[in-house]
Amino acid sequence: MYGVKFKVTKAPQTLDGWYCLHSLYRIDWPRWQALEVHAREALLAEAEELMAKEQAKQTSHLGSSGHYWVLGHKADLMGIYLRPTLEDLAAVENAWAKSAIGSYLLPVYSYFSVVELSTHTSAPRTEEAMREAEAALRERLEPDLPQSRYVCFYPMSKLRGEERNWYMLESAARRDLMRSHGVIGHSYADRVRQIITGSMGLDDWEWGVDLFSDDPLQFKKIIYEMRFDEVSAVYALFGSFFVGMRLGSGDLRRYLASA
Name the nearest CA neighbour of 64 among 18, 96, 25: 18
To the query of whether residue 154 is one of the catalytic residues in this protein, the response is: yes
What CATH number is associated with residue 64? 3.30.70.1030
99 belongs to a structural domain: yes
Buried b (16+ CB within 10 A) or exposed e, 196-221: bbbbeebbebbbbbbbbbeebebbee
DSSP summary character for residue 145: P
Residue 41 has a pLDDT of 93
Residue 74 has a pLDDT of 97
245 belongs to a structural domain: yes
Name the nearest CA neighbour of 214 among 174, 242, 245: 245
Name the nearest CA neighbour of 207 among 247, 178, 244, 180: 178
4 belongs to a structural domain: no
pLDDT in tens, 225-253: 999 999 999 999 999 999 999 998 789 98
59 belongs to a structural domain: yes
pTM of the entire structure? 0.89
110 belongs to a structural domain: yes
32 belongs to a structural domain: yes
Among 58-62, 83-87, 128-132, name the most confident range. Answer: 83-87
End-to-end CA distance of the chain: 60
42 belongs to a structural domain: yes
Q: Please count the structural domains in the chain.
A: 1
Pick the catalytic residue: 25, 111, 154, 188? 154
**Domain of residue 89, residue span:** 14-256
Sign of CA dihedral 99, 154, 212, 200: positive
6 belongs to a structural domain: no
